[in-house]
Amino acid sequence: SYQGCHSGIKTKILHLMVRGSGVRDIAEIERVSIGKVLRTLSQSKYQLRAQQSHYETLEVDEFWTFVGHKQNKQWLIYAYHRETGEIVAYVWGNRDLATAKRLKLKLKQLGVSYTCISSDHWDSFVTTFKECKQLIGKFFTVGIEGNNCRLRHR
């Protein structure tokens, strides 16, 4: 029978999402509608908090995905800490300098400092993080590229 009105279901939905379950999987496991899962996520007051205040090295990269249909391409720009597997900060937007600068601002708003930024050769990252030490090239972004692969194949 339908479980969407039972107490505790919102907590279960959020817990499953944090643990990496997809929207359809959560709906099936908890016997609720996909709409209930999406409403619970959109109404959540969860705020991303960094696990540390200072990171020696953060990897930054862009990741595209389709939402709804192939004409609706969306870009996720995020900072990743390889040693812990933590996504430290993220922003959605266009693949441009303004979005890269929003990521840097988000890191600052979260109170995150870093010694070094690793990125690919994308000019927007090079420009945005020019004040700090940069490691540029695919060799330095192995961790975040692996995370991109995991995200894409979930």
Q: What is the mean pLDDT of each run of 10 residues along the chain (154 residues)?
A: 68 82 88 90 79 95 83 89 92 93 95 96 94 94 90 75
Q: Are residues 26 and 68 in the same domain?
A: no
**Domain that includes residue 17, residue range:** 9-43
Q: pLDDT value at position 150?
A: 83
Residues 124 and 146 in one domain: yes
Instruction: Identify whether residues 16 and 90 lie together within a single domain.
Output: no
| Residue 143, CB-side half-sphere exposure with 13 Å CA sphere | 18
Q: What is the pLDDT of residue 77?
A: 93
**What is the predicted pLDDT for the residue at 153?**
78
Query: Is residue 30 a contact partner of residue 14, using CB atoms and an 8 Å limit?
Result: no
Tell whether 121 and 81 lie within a shared domain. yes
Which residues, including other chains, have CB under 8 Å from residue 136's CB and lie 6 or more apart? 118, 119, 120, 121, 126
Looking at the structure, tell me whether residues 19 and 59 fall in a common domain.
no
| pLDDT recorded at residue 68 | 72
Same domain, 74 and 31: no
Indicate if 122 and 92 belong to the same structural domain: yes
pLDDT at site 154: 64
pLDDT at position 22 is: 83
Number of domains within the chain: 2
Distance CA 67, CA 83 (A): 30
CB 4 within 8 A of CB 36: yes
Q: What is the pLDDT of residue 20?
A: 72
Tokens 């490691």 correspond to 135
- 82 and 23, same domain (yes or no): no
